[in-house]
A and B are shown apart, each in its own frame.
Chain A
Amino acid sequence: GDSVTQMEGPVTLSEEACLTINCTYTATGYPSLFWYVQYPGEGLQLLLKATKADDKGSNKGFEATYRKETTSFHLEKGSVQVSDSAVYFCALSDLWRGGSEKLVFGKGTKLTVNP
């Protein structure tokens, strides 16, 4: 079945450092890819998404590019802030190609940014 693998955390960075969280996927179809963020004590919020190869999703300074050839969707940010401290989840769904609508999540990567 479909699966998502993301880098193990936790990740600890200083403010203004660069961030990369790796995410790779396995899917029989041609899925849409998502990054969700979970702030402490809250639910999941959509951070960004991409629905086809070479699409770049971006939001709040975060970016991720859908790479079909490497089956990857790495999350990047050039300069992190303390307020970015959260758990980040990579996910996929195969809604548009007749596959499963459910979201398949990676295990999550906890990011802590120190001032």
Chain B
Amino acid sequence: DSGVTQTPKHLITATGQRVTLRCSPRSGDLSVYWYQQSLDQGLQFLIQYYNGEERAKGNILERFSAQQFPDLHSELNLSSLELGDSALYFCASRGDTDTQYFGPGTRLTVL
């Protein structure tokens, strides 16, 4: 158990819909990262937050957004969903070392 939790575990929705994925980092970790894992693109970095502020952006679509709240949990919002957004979405957190600890992921299926 990494100490990082993600909900929900599975999400099935339709094209055009909007969903929210939630992540709780390990206790005390200020950095939260979001990654997307798909068969064709592999593991891709989406966005990072540090103590409530956006720190870095990767290959995140404009239809996607994220935030980190004062209690350090983070949410990834995906809107106007397309079939191609079906993937595993991972959250990771990091403390003072260079190691990122991953949650179990949310599997999103867009029908």
Contact = CB atoms under 8 A, between A and B. Distances in A.
Interface of A: 32, 34, 36, 42-46, 49, 51, 89, 93, 95-96, 100-108
A108 B43 CA distance: 9
Contact of A43 (B56, B58, B105): B105
Nearest to B88: A43
A46 B99 contact: yes
Contact of A95 (B58, B98, B105): B98
B53 to A, nearest CB: 13
A101 B31 contact: yes
Nearest to B43: A105
* SS class, residues of chain B in contact with chain A: strand
B48 interface: yes
Interface in B28-67: 31, 33, 35, 42-43, 45, 48, 55-56, 58
B98 A102 contact: no
Interface residues of B, number: 22
Given A44-B90, A45-B2, A102 B99 contact: no
Contact of B56 (A32, A36, A101, A104): A101
B98 A32 contact: yes
Contacts of B104: 42-43
A102 B48 contact: yes
A103 B100 contact: yes
Nearest to B33: A102
Contacts of B2: 43, 45
A100 B58 CA distance: 10
A51 B56 contact: no
Given A89-B43, A101-B56, A102-B56, A43 B103 contact: yes
Interface string B62-98: 0000000000000000000000000000101010001
B11 to A, nearest CB: 16
A43 B90 contact: yes
A51 B99 CA distance: 10
